[in-house]
A and B are shown apart, each in its own frame.
Chain A
Amino acid sequence: MRVIALRDLEQRIEARKAELGIVGDDYVAVNSGAGRTASKKALLLTLRRLAEEQGRDLPFRANI
């Protein structure tokens, strides 16, 4: 079992990115959503409807 503070985890990830020369935020692909369960699809649709009702953007990127 590893135990790590969030800030240390973040620093390790940022250090690895620097070692690898990763720049920007788009180097990890977003899920296509093809494998989602019906329940998961319903949950994401609920969140999208709420966001629309509140005139806000969803706080995450997803193919819904």
Chain B
Amino acid sequence: MPYRREFLECLNLIIAATEEMAALGYARPVLVGGAVVELYTASRITSGDFDFVTEDQRVFEELLLAKGFIRPSGIGVLQRGLHHPELLMGVEVVSGPVFDGAVPPDKLDVVLFDAGRLAVISIEDIIADRMGQYASHEASNAEILDQAIQLFRLASEIDEDYLDQRIRAETLNTYGSAFLKAEAANYESHSSPGS
């Protein structure tokens, strides 16, 4: 199994909490951010924490605390997220809709884990998210563009119209999917044998 142990153990704990939320009638929190890159690259890039979006932050965090996560306390503590002291992984929970409402519920995906169902943004949306970060400051975010390219290359199924729409939205129309395809093709030509 190429997924690293800590990623799976921590995510299964979190998913158990999301299952409890669903059983209580709340919507499942949605995984966004760097851990989604880890999920869609099978842990080839690793993340130190899991970012979740939910309309019910307080309920979710209470359930996570019951699963062994800790919230740091004290004056001047900047850390907003929780962490697991044995797995050495964190969770940050943000209140509100996914991408400020730009992603309709039917565009969210579900991955089935041992502990239950993980609601997660699609491969198209994490690529668009990376492109948005890249567009915001290209000089310091070259590695973020590389992540978008590798995610695109590794994807076995892509909705190209949706990908283009979402990249344009996240980059304020600076880029579209054609740019990403060209970068990926450029990558292939430079990494092919004999080049």
Q: When the two chains form their complex, are residues A4 and B78 in contact, meaning their CB atoms are under 8 A apart?
A: no
Contact partners of A17 in chain B: CB under 8 A: 154
Q: When the two chains form their complex, are residues B44 and A25 in contact, meaning their CB atoms are under 8 A apart?
A: yes
Tell me the complex Cα distance, A30–B92, Å: 19
Q: When the two chains form their complex, are residues A4 and B143 in contact, meaning their CB atoms are under 8 A apart?
A: no
Contact with A along B87-112 (1 / 0, CB 8 A): 11110100000000000011111111
List the B residue with the shortest CB-CB distance to A45. B79
Assuming the contacts A2-B109, A13-B42, A60-B48, asked whether A32 and B143 have C-beta atoms less than 8 A apart, the reply is yes
Q: When the two chains form their complex, are residues A20 and B153 in contact, meaning their CB atoms are under 8 A apart?
A: yes
Number of interface residues of A (CB under 8 A): 43
Contact partners of B59 in chain A: CB under 8 A: none
Contact partners of A1 in chain B: CB under 8 A: 105-110
Contact partners of B143 in chain A: CB under 8 A: 29-32
Q: When the two chains form their complex, are residues A43 and B111 in contact, meaning their CB atoms are under 8 A apart?
A: no
Q: When the two chains form their complex, are residues B154 and A13 in contact, meaning their CB atoms are under 8 A apart?
A: yes
B77 contacts chain A at the CB level, 8 A cutoff: yes
B147 contacts chain A at the CB level, 8 A cutoff: yes
Chain B contacts with A in 141-195, Cβ cutoff 8 A: 141-144, 146-147, 150, 153-157, 188, 191-193
Question: Closest approach, in angstroms, between the C-beta of B194 and any C-beta of chain A?
Answer: 12
Contact partners of B92 in chain A: CB under 8 A: 39-40, 43
Contact partners of B107 in chain A: CB under 8 A: 1
Chain A contacts with B in 30-50, Cβ cutoff 8 A: 30-32, 34-35, 38-44, 46-47, 50
A contact set with B: CB distance below 8 Å? 1-6, 9-10, 12-17, 20-21, 25, 27-32, 34-35, 38-44, 46-47, 50-51, 54, 56, 58-62
B contact set with A: CB distance below 8 Å? 1-7, 34, 37, 39-42, 44-49, 72, 77-81, 83, 85, 87-90, 92, 105-113, 122, 133, 136-137, 140-144, 146-147, 150, 153-157, 188, 191-193
